[in-house]
Amino acid sequence: MYKGIVFAVAILLPRLLIAQSNDTLYVYGPGGPLAPFQECGRVFTQRYHIPVKVSAGPESDWIADAKIHADLFFGGAEYMLTQFEIAHPDLALRTSRIELYKRAAGILVRPGNPKHIHSLQDLAKPGIKILDVNGAGQLGLWEDLAGQTNSIAGIASNIAGTFGNSALGIDAWKMDKSYDAWVTFSSWHYRLREITELVPITGTGAVYRGTPVEMSATSKRQHQVKQFMELLRSPEGHAIFKKWGWE
């Protein structure tokens, strides 16, 4: 009888694993919005008993897997998802694209704000060392802001390091304590509370980026993906995004 049980488990286990894989929703995008998408995924799993796996970071880290499994894509800015559509026209279902919530740009400084940075103009002062991410939704972000205060030249002269994505920027911020400030999304502060302080940029000088999502053209779970998108756009989903720094 024992051998019979072992044989039955050996037969059923692969089928169970396949079923689990087929029931899972696979979501892909850049690292910035990872936290709210993961939290919304946990709520969705509790409600519908369907696992949600969110893979986030540089596209090169997940695109091979996405070509096999993808159900939903998200962007850290509208232009990011548009670039993805251009690069992968067979993966992106453009007609399903919707906008979720906006997030504001802000200035991250060291805890305690030792350089007394309270505005964009302060970033142009001599001796300020700025970290810059030239991509990942932040392409041109500081310039859009600096142009409103006539401080482009001063801020440009204080940029001490430029990185291709937020993950590299975070690593540099952690390793090199000489960086004083980083113009990025305010939402990053909520994931880096221990090593940053947020200086908000408000009023007419504020700059925002959107958070678009769209279904994968290859998804075989479109009904479940639409349910997840409905959760993302619901008041409950909005509250989760606000918790992580979106508006």
Provide the pLDDT for residue 135. 81
Say which residue the tokens 């091979």 belong to.
64
The model's pTM: 0.86
CB-based contact 140:153 (threshold 8 Å): no
Ranges in the chain, pLDDT < 50: 2-21
DSSP H stretches of helix in 151-221: 152-157, 166-175
Provide the pLDDT for residue 74. 98
Q: Which residues pair with 130 in a beta bridge?
A: 159, 181
Provide the pLDDT for residue 8. 41
Q: What are phi and psi of 180, to 5 degrees?
A: -95, -30
Residue 36 is inside which H or E element, if any? helix 34-48
